[in-house]
Structure 1
């Protein structure tokens, strides 16, 4: 059983209303505690809670109503990527900063498409993290400099090639994740309460959309896009 959501009640003070309320979601306790320490050093930021996986992050967002969620992407169970999509859908006023070690093109593109307001790599300096939080609260987007280069490179490449990034539906992403985790078609049908024929149709459509031909390639796609842990 994972640690429950941790809330951080604050002593009331006259500056409370001006502070940015932040929720930190990361499954590594030491990393999470380090981020919390950095945030607590800033006079204009208030850490209202912590979460150790995607489901906890959604529950904590509902309960604590933060201004900003710092979301690790690679978490067990419900991934950070899926949690981002749900929070963007259910709590559109909440700003989300993706917090990750990943800097590959495919990974970045899928995270940005999920609807994050910023992308911060974990090797970033403390002041950069605080700057990113302040930027999204001003209504701006924030990308780490290395990410800007990747995004521009990917965009220019796709313009040159006339390519469109394949977009999977929520159901297709769910099926990709289950296939990558080793579930058979009938097991997926039972788990999702749909017919075997429907699973087979989705699987064929997914393979066609992604232009892949076997499960190995599908697993690589799932890892690259944060649907499962490597």
Structure 2
């Protein structure tokens, strides 16, 4: 179990929004806010200075904005997990952020308990993907017929788990579906990510589609 809190950087041009986010995180010792910024440029600069584990990033801000800032941060600091924080559930913006490397998104009106649970899942790579978002990813990344190659390094069980991840199932859902422990699912996912040299569920969804493994299990 991690002994140190996850270091969080808050990026939002609204003073009120930053204060609200800071208050939510202060009630959970799992997280520590190390710095705050008001624009995308500061997101890149402060990430290099503070080396946070997680960035909570607003989408629409002055300057380069949250989407471009996300891309620049991930290009320079790929280990950092970025969660978009917005008042809008416009899936187009959220989808664009995920394509640029973000790991997830939170709506500002959600209750604090939902924030804590979701961010803890993001921090340890366990957050499930919204099913509508998964469908959009498949549609966006589809560039022709599925390859359905036999050259994959994954085992049959790993392909099965990957297909379920791409359909939006959480680790717990997968464990119940396959009647295996949640820890077993986590270990399988670690192996899958390492074998495929991928970083997150968005990339796994694209890979599963390209291999033709969607909806087979």
The two structures have a TM-score, normalised by structure 2, of 0.59
Tell me, in whole angstroms, the C-alpha distance in 2 between the residues paired with 1:18 and 1:88: 23
Q: Is 1:154 paired with 2:140?
A: no
Give the C-alpha shift of residue 163 in structure 1. 6.5
Unpaired runs of at least 5, structure 2: 144-217
8 Å CA contact retained: 2:84, 2:94: no
Tell me, in whole angstroms, the C-alpha distance in 2 between the residues paired with 1:104 and 1:68: 22
Match of 2:88 in 1: 102
Aligned residues: 142
SS of residue paired to 2:60: coil
Tell me, in whole angstroms, the C-alpha distance in 2 between the residues paired with 1:35 and 1:23: 10
The two structures, once aligned, show a CA RMSD in angstroms of: 2.3
Match of 1:86 in 2: 72
SS of residue paired to 1:93: coil
8 Å CA contact retained: 1:118, 1:142: no
Give the C-alpha shift of residue 100 in structure 1. 1.2
Q: Is 1:141 paired with 2:90?
A: no
Unpaired runs of at least 5, structure 1: 1-15, 165-230
Name which of 88, 106, 109 aligns with 1:120. 106
- Alpha carbons of structure 1 residues 49 and 17: separation in structure 2 relative to 1, 3 Å: farther
- Alpha carbons of structure 1 residues 155 and 116: separation in structure 2 relative to 1, 3 Å: closer
